[in-house]
Amino acid sequence: MNSKLFNTPGGRVFDVFNVVLLGLLGILTVLPFLYIVGNSFATEAEITGRSFFLIPREFSFSAYAYIFSSSTIFRSIGVSIFVTVAGTFINLFFTMTMAYPLSRSDFWGRSTLMNIVIFSMLFSGGMIPTYLVVRSLGLIDSYWALMLPGAISAFNLIVVKNFFQQMPAGLEEAARIDGCTDLGVLWRIVLPLSKPVIATFALFYAVGHWNNFFSALLYINDSDKWPLQIMLRQIVLLSQGTVGDMANMDPNFVQPPEQSIKMAVIVVGTIPILLVYPFLQKHFAKGVMLGSIKG
C-alpha cells in the first residue's frame, strides 16, 4: 500500500486517536486478569491500604499456601485434569471414527446419518429429557456424565468430515491396492495427514472440558467429585466451603485475607488456559476458517 497517499493531516490525527483507543481497549481487556494475579500475591496490609496497583511491593505466597493446605482445591484440580484429558480422548475417538465413514460417498446410510446429525444441531431434547437419560443410565455423580453426553460436537464432526472429503482420493486407492482395509486407511493414511486438524480440535475440546461448568452443575452432586469450575463458584461467588485447613499450617501462619484467597483460586483456574493460549491463537484462525467451509 502506498502510504504517501494516506498521509493527510486529518488522517494523522485519526491515526493517533485510533492507536490510542485500540491500545486502551487491549490493555483494559487484560487488566482485570493482571490485577487479580497481582493481588493474589499481596499481603493484608497492602490490600487494605491500596498501596500498590498491579505489582505488590512484597510478594506473599500465603494465599496459595493456604488454598493448597487442604485437599479441596487439589482434588478438584485433579478432577478437572482427568476429565479434560480423558474427555478429549473420547471426543477425538468418537469424532474421528464417525467422520471417516461419513466422508465416504460409497457408505450406505451416510445421508440418513448426516440428516440425524444436522437435525440434532437444529433441535434437541432439551435440558430435562437429556438429564433424565443420563440419570436413567446411572451416570449421576459419575465422571462419565461429564464426558459422554458431549462426546461429539455436531459442528466439529461436520468440519472434520469435510476435511476428510477433501483429501486426494488417489492416496486411499493406492493404500487399498496395497491391501489396506478401511481401518488401515483411516489409521495409516487419513489420520496422519490430519494431524494439524486433530491438534486444533483436541485443543478446542480440551478448553471446553476445562471450562465446563454446566455438565457438572447438572450431573455431579457429590462435592468430592466437583471439578474446579464448580469449586470456583462455591468459593468466590457463594463464599461457601472452607478452602484451606489451618490445622496443616505453621502455628505462626496468618490466615490471608478472603479477597486474596479468592483471587488465588481464580488464578489457579485461569493459568491452564493462558498456558495453551499461544497454541490456541495459532490454531483458532484455522478453526474459524475451516468452519466457514460448508458442504
Interacting residues with other proteins between 264 and 283 (CB under 8 A): 265-266, 269-270, 273-274, 277, 280-281
Find the binder of other proteins among 25, 169, 177, 247 (CB under 8 A): 25
Cell numbers 488401515: residue: 184
Least spacing, CB of residue 70 vs other proteins, in Å: 20
Q: Does the protein bind other proteins through residue 44 (CB under 8 A)?
A: no
Least spacing, CB of residue 195 vs other proteins, in Å: 19
Least spacing, CB of residue 252 vs other proteins, in Å: 25
Least spacing, CB of residue 243 vs other proteins, in Å: 13
Cβ atoms within 10 Å, residue 151: 16
Q: How distant, in Å, are the alpha carbons of 100, 181, 182, 210, 276 from that of 185? A: 10, 6, 5, 33, 31
Task: Report the SS3 class of residue 123.
Answer: coil
Distance CA(94)–CA(90), nearest Å, equals 6
Toward other proteins, which CB reaches closer, 113 or 248?
A: 113
Find the binder of other proteins among 198, 236, 249, 290 (CB under 8 A): 236
Distance CA(56)–CA(40), nearest Å, equals 9
Q: Does the protein bind other proteins through residue 261 (CB under 8 A)?
A: no
Least spacing, CB of residue 143 vs other proteins, in Å: 16
Least spacing, CB of residue 207 vs other proteins, in Å: 6
Q: Taking Cα atoms as reference points, which of 245, 239, 236 lies closest to residue 267? A: 236
Q: Taking Cα atoms as reference points, which of 242, 226, 262, 244 lies closest to residue 83? A: 226
Which of the residues 46 through 65 are near other proteins (CB under 8 A)?
Answer: 47-48, 50
Q: How distant, in Å, are the alpha carbons of 12, 93, 96, 206, 272 from that of 89? A: 52, 6, 11, 9, 18
Which of the residues 122 through 151 are near other proteins (CB under 8 A)?
Answer: 122-133, 137, 148-149, 151
Q: Which stretch binds other proteins (CB under 8 A): 66-74, 81-89, 162-170, 211-219?
A: 211-219
Toward other proteins, which CB reaches closer, 126 or 170?
A: 126
Toward other proteins, which CB reaches closer, 206 or 244?
A: 206
Q: Going by C-beta distance under 8 Å and a sequence separation of 6 or more, which residues neighbour residue 207? A: 273, 276, 280
Least spacing, CB of residue 5 vs other proteins, in Å: 5
Q: Does the protein bind other proteins through residue 75 (CB under 8 A)?
A: no
Residue 117, Cβ density class (10 Å: 0-12 exposed, 13-18 middle, ≥19 buried): middle
